Structure 1
Amino acid sequence: MKSKCPNVVSIAGVDPSGGAGILADIKTISAQRAYACGVVTALTAQNTVGVTAVFPIPVDMVAKQIDTLFEDVAIDSVKIGMLFDSELIKTVAEGLEKWNPHYIVLDPVMVAKSGDPLLQQEAIAALREYLLPISTVITPNLPEAQILLGWKGEIDSDEKMEEACRLLWKLKGSHGYVFLKGGHRENTKTAEDFLFDGKKFTKFSSKRIATKNTHGTGCALSSAIAALLPQTKTVKTAMKKAKKFMDKAIEGSDDLEVGHGHGPIKHFYKYWK
C-alpha cells in the first residue's frame, strides 16, 4: 500500500513573478513531496523590483474557496501568508476554526522584500487577535516581531530574540510554537533562528550566502514547514528539514535569471541540475 501524500493548502496572495506568494508556496510544497492546494486572498501587480498594486479578493469569495476545498479534500496542513486587511483576516480565521485542520503555519506577511506594504496598519491588531491563537507555528522575522509586539528597540542579540519569543508565545495564547527568524540581524557571520515551545529554545544557525536572490524566502520557509509537519514526528525535525531546504535553495538561486531586483530562490534545486 502506498503511503499517503499529505495535502497542504496555501492561503495567500499572488505574486506574478512567482518568487513569493502562493506560486512560490506551491513550488515549495511540491518540492517537499506534498500535494499543494491554494486559496487566493489577493492579486498583486508585482515583480522582483517592487509592488505597484494590490487587489484583495472579496471576503465572501475567500470563504467560499475555503469551504469548497475543505468539503472535498482532506487537508493535513495549512500555510497562511498575505491577507492584507482585517476583514480578510477574520474570514480566514473563521473558516479555519470551522474546519479545524491539524497544522496551521502563520507567516505574518507585512512588507514585501522591496519594502512595499502588504498588510494594512489597522489589520495588525486583527492578526494578533484572530490568527495567532489558532496557529500551530508562527514564523515572524525580526521587523514583523517588533510590529506584533509594539517593540520599538532593535532585536539585536540572542537574549533579545529569546525575550521576543517568550512575549510572542504569550501573545498567541501560551501554546504552540514560535519560530523567530534572525536574518535581519546585522554584523553577524551566521543567521540565527530560534524555535520556542514555551519551555525550551532550539537555536538554528545558517551561514550567510552572498546573493541578492532572497525574494520570497519567508514564504518558502513557512510553506516548507507546513508541508513537512505531517511527514515528521516532531516540530523540531520539520524545522531542521525546512532549514536545510532553504539553505540549498538560496545557494542555488544564482543559477536563475529572473528580473532585475531581488530574484527568487531555486525551489527545485534537487530536480533541476
Structure 2
Amino acid sequence: MTSLTSPLGRVLIIAGSDSGGGAGVQADLKTVMALGGYGATAITAVTVQNTLGVTGVHPIPVDIVQAQARAVLSDIGADAIKTGMLGDVAMVEAVAALLDEAAPIPAVIDPVMIAKGGASLLASDAVDAVRSLMVPRAALLTPNAPEAHALTGLVVESLDDQRRAGTALLQLGARAVLMKGGHVAGDRVIDLLLTPTGETVFETDRQDTRHTHGTGCTLASACAVGLAQGLPLDAAVAHAWAYVQEAMASAPGLGQGHGPLDHGWTLRA
C-alpha cells in the first residue's frame, strides 16, 4: 500500500470532524497544508461543536472509515498516518488493522479522549483497546496528562510524573512518546519527548490565552507532516512545537469559548 515518497509529504488523517474548524480533521488539514504537506482523510465521526463545546457526535460506520483509508492508500499513498478521535472499541480495532495493512508507514497516534470543553470523545471501555492496540503501533504517541493517566494509571502532575508516564508508555510498545505538559500546573509549559535512547525537553512560558482549541490535534498533525517530509523524529517534533506556539500567539480571536489557533500563520510569514 506504499508508493514513492512525495516531496510534499503525504499525511493520511484518520480522525473526527469539528464543525467549528478549530480541532479534528479541519485543524489537521490546515496544519498539513500550512507546513507544505498534502493531507487526505478518513473521517471517523461528525461532531456538532464550536468553541463552547461539543453538543452532538455522529459516528461514521466502521466499514466506511476503512474504505476511505484504503481508497487513499491504494491511489495517493501516504508517508505518515495521523490518528485522532476514534470513539469506540470497534473503531479502535478497525484502525489498528488499517495501520497493520499500511505498514511500515509511521503512525502518529493522538489518543483523543476528551474535547477541550470537557465532552467525552472516547468510550470508557475503549481505553483498554487504545492501550493494547494503538500504543504499540505508534511511531509517536502524543498524550496529554489526563490521557497518559488513563493509559498508565499514573498521576501526571509534574515533569518527573511526565517522565514516568512516558517511560511506561514506551514499555507498552510506543516507539516514541511526546508527553504534553499543558495540563500540568505552572507558569512554564514543558513537553517531553521520550525515546528508548533519551529525552528532549521543550519548554516555554505559558501563554495567557483562551485560544487553545485544537492544540493537541494541531501538534500531532504537525509532527506527522514533518515525519512525512523525511525529518528525523526530534527535528519533526521541534518544528511542530514551534509551529503550535506561534499559532497560539497569533490566534484570530474567534468564538466565545476556547478559540481556534491561527493555523495559516506560516502562509503570511
Q: TM-score, normalised by structure 1?
A: 0.93
Aligned to 2:20: 17
- List per-residue Cα deviations over 1:123-158 (Å, max 9, x = no partner): 10111111111110000000110011123x3x2222
Pair 1:75-2:86 in alignment: no
Instruction: Find the aligned partners of 2:119 and 2:228 in 1 and give their Cα distance.
Output: 33
Aligned to 1:221: 219
- List per-residue Cα deviations over 1:83-105 (Å, max 9, x = no partner): 00000011111112112142100
- List per-residue Cα deviations over 1:196-225 (Å, max 9, x = no partner): 112311111022111100000000000000
Aligned to 2:263: 267
RMSD: 1.3
Aligned to 1:125: 128
Pair 1:212-2:210 in alignment: yes
Instruction: Find the aligned partners of 2:250 and 2:231 in 1 and give their Cα distance.
Output: 28
For residue 62 of structure 2, the aligned residue among 53, 59, 77 is 59
Mind listing any 5+ residue stretches in structure 1 that lack a counterpart? none
Are the structure 2 counterparts of residues 63 and 232 from structure 1 closer, same or farther at C-alpha, using a change threshold of 3 Å? closer
What is the SS of the residue equivalent to 1:271? helix
Identity %: 39
Contact 2:110 2:216 in 1 (8 A): yes
Instruction: Find the aligned partners of 2:121 and 2:77 in 1 and give their Cα distance.
Output: 30
For residue 109 of structure 1, the aligned residue among 93, 112, 119 is 112
Q: TM-score, normalised by structure 2?
A: 0.95
Contact 2:11 2:40 in 1 (8 A): yes
Aligned to 1:37: 40
Contact 2:12 2:69 in 1 (8 A): no
Mind listing any 5+ residue stretches in structure 2 that lack a counterpart? 1-5
For residue 138 of structure 2, the aligned residue among 135, 138, 141 is 135
- List per-residue Cα deviations over 1:216-244 (Å, max 9, x = no partner): 00000000000011324410011110111
Contact 2:214 2:261 in 1 (8 A): yes
Pair 1:192-2:193 in alignment: no
What is the SS of the residue equivalent to 2:267? coil
Aligned to 2:3: none
**Larger mean Cα displacement after TM superposition, 78-87 or 66-75:** 66-75
Contact 2:11 2:228 in 1 (8 A): no
Instruction: Find the aligned partners of 1:271 and 1:160 in 2 and give their Cα distance.
Output: 37
